[in-house]
Structure 1
Amino acid sequence: MLDRIRTGTGFIAALDQSGGSTPKALRLYGVDESAYSDDAAMFDLIHEMRTRIISSPVFGGERILAAILFEQTMDRQIGAVGSAEYLWTQKHVVPFVKVDKGLEPEADGVRMMKPIPDLDALLERATRHGVFGTKMRSVVLTADETGVGAVVAQQLDVARRILAAGLVPIVEPEIDIHSPEKAETEKLLKDVLLSHLDSLAEGQDVMLKLTLPEEDGYHRELLEHPRVLRVAALSGGYTREEADARLARNPGVIASFSRALTEGLTAQMGDEEFDAALDASIAGIYAASST
Structure 2
Amino acid sequence: MNKDMAAQVRAGNGFIAALDQSGGSTPKALAAYGVNADAFGSDAEMFDMIHAMRARIVAAPTFNGDQVVSAILFEDTMDRQFAGQPAAEHLWSVQRVVPFLKIDKGLEDEANGVQMMKPMPGLDALLDRAHALGVFGTKERSVIHAANAAGIDAIVAQQFEVGNQVLAHDMMPILEPEVTISISDKAEAEQMLLDSVLRHLDAVPEGAEIMIKLTLPEVAGTYQPLVDHPKIMRVVALSGGYDLTEATRRLAINPGIIASFSRALTQDLSAQQSDDEFNVAIAKTIDTIHAASIAG
TM-score range, shorter chain: over 0.9
1:217 Cα deviation after fit: 1.2
CA distance in 2, matches of 1:40, 1:232: 31
Which residue of the other structure, out of 175, 181, 184, is the alignment partner of 2:185?
Answer: 181
SS of 2:135's equivalent in the other structure is coil
Report the counterpart of residue 162 of structure 1 in structure 2.
166
1:201-280 map, 5 Å: 201-280=205-284
Ranges in structure 2 where 5+ consecutive residues have no aligned partner: none
1:203 Cα deviation after fit: 2.7
1:76 Cα deviation after fit: 0.4
Report the counterpart of residue 68 of structure 2 in structure 1.
64
CA distance in 1, matches of 2:147, 2:222: 17
SS of 2:174's equivalent in the other structure is strand
Which residue of the other structure, out of 121, 135, 148, is the alignment partner of 1:144?
Answer: 148
Percentage of pairs with the same residue:
56
Deviation >2 Å, runs of 4+: none
SS of 2:281's equivalent in the other structure is helix
Which residue of the other structure, out of 7, 12, 17, is the alignment partner of 1:13?
Answer: 17
Report the counterpart of residue 200 of structure 2 in structure 1.
196
**Equivalent position amino acid for 2:290 in 1:** Y
CA distance in 2, matches of 1:67, 1:203: 25
CA distance in 2, matches of 1:134, 1:166: 11
**Equivalent position amino acid for 1:123 in 2:** L
**Equivalent position amino acid for 1:77 in 2:** Q
Say how many residue pairs are matched: 291
CA distance in 1, matches of 2:197, 2:63: 33
**Equivalent position amino acid for 1:278 in 2:** I
**Equivalent position amino acid for 1:29 in 2:** Y
SS of 1:268's equivalent in the other structure is coil
CA distance in 2, matches of 1:179, 1:203: 36
Report the counterpart of residue 98 of structure 2 in structure 1.
94
Report the counterpart of residue 287 of structure 1 in structure 2.
291
CA distance in 2, matches of 1:229, 1:123: 20
CA distance in 1, matches of 2:207, 2:59: 34
CA distance in 2, matches of 1:111, 1:76: 30
- Normalised to the residue count of structure 1, the TM-score between the two structures is 0.99
1:69-84 map, 5 Å: 69-84=73-88
The superposition leaves residues 53-79 of structure 1 with CA deviations (integer Å, 9 ceiling, x where unpaired) of: 001112111100000000010000111
CA distance in 2, matches of 1:222, 1:81: 36
Report the counterpart of residue 123 of structure 1 in structure 2.
127
CA distance in 1, matches of 2:240, 2:98: 22
TM-align CA RMSD: 0.6
Is 1:45 equivalent to 2:60 in the alignment? no
CA distance in 1, matches of 2:259, 2:194: 18
Report the counterpart of residue 172 of structure 1 in structure 2.
176
CA distance in 1, matches of 2:222, 2:191: 9
1:190 Cα deviation after fit: 0.3
**Equivalent position amino acid for 2:155 in 1:** V
**Equivalent position amino acid for 1:271 in 2:** D
- Normalised to the residue count of structure 2, the TM-score between the two structures is 0.98
SS of 2:206's equivalent in the other structure is coil
